[in-house]
Homo-oligomer: A and B are copies of this chain.
Amino acid sequence: MSTSTLTKEEAILRGALQEFLEHGYAGTSMDKVASSAGVSKATVYSHFQDKEHLFIALIDQFTEQRMAVFLGLSQDSISENQFQEANSTHELKTGLKQIALSMIHEVSEDEFILPFMRLLVAESGRFPNLGKTFLTHMELRGLNVISEYLSSYPHLKLKDPEAVARIFVGSLVHYMIVQEMLHGKEVIPMEPERLVDSLVDLVVTQAENKK
């Protein structure tokens, strides 16, 4: 899909994405959005009531897009792991490790995710629905994927798979917030494998011992 086929509205949303992700809500001017989109400011206002509506429309669109991508990915992850259904703890470990590393990989590959999360955290105080929408559409789905994956292994009799899913996802998200968003790589470095190995160990070890 080339730039020349963009409608004005798509161009505006694309320009808005770039500006809002880079400068935040208050730090973004409608002038910059317009010039980044290659249209006039009046055109922006002919498509979107005001700055706030543009912002919300942008976040909604972005969340929806990412959700589609994410759903595709998690489908893949599940089916990749489902043909290994011999359910040894070794395979569970491999599966969990793969899921964790691919989560980390996906975030470092995608140039938009980190600034988007930054914006989400920054503005969910003033725009509470931003956080809620993200959580119900993205986070909850991610938690369910992990939770069901954990529950599907009979050896792993977890008391509370939903809570463990939060721990699993939370450890990884926090790791990325610290390492990437707060520049922890430079001041408190830790290789992804170290975190992931310990995480998978904590979740799976008890199953090994009960064997």
The residues of A with any CB-CB pair to B shorter than 8 Å are 23-27, 115, 117-122, 124-125, 128, 130-132, 134-136, 139-140, 143, 158-160, 162-164, 166-167, 169-175, 177-178, 181-184, 186-188, 190, 194-195, 197-199, 201-203, 205-206, 209-210
Residue of B nearest to A21 (CB): B125
Residue of B nearest to A186 (CB): B132
Set B134, B167, B206: member contacting A195, Cβ < 8 A: B167
A74 CA / B83 CA spacing, docked (Å): 47
In the complex, the answer to whether A128 meets B183 with C-beta atoms within 8 Å is yes
In the complex, the answer to whether A166 meets B175 with C-beta atoms within 8 Å is yes
Q: How many copies does the complex hold?
A: 2
Using known A-B contacts A170-B170, A188-B139, A190-B162, determine if residue A183 contacts B122 with beta carbons closer than 8 Å.
no
In the complex, the answer to whether A182 meets B26 with C-beta atoms within 8 Å is no
Set B26, B158, B167, B187: member contacting A135, Cβ < 8 A: B187
The 3 residue pairs across chains A and B that have the minimum distance between CB atoms: A170-B174, A131-B182, A122-B122
Instruction: Report chain B residues within 8 Å CB of A184.
Output: 131, 135, 139
In the complex, the answer to whether B122 meets A182 with C-beta atoms within 8 Å is no
Instruction: Report chain B residues within 8 Å CB of A171.
Output: 166-167, 170-171, 174
Instruction: Report chain B residues within 8 Å CB of A131.
Output: 181-184
In the complex, the answer to whether B136 meets A182 with C-beta atoms within 8 Å is no
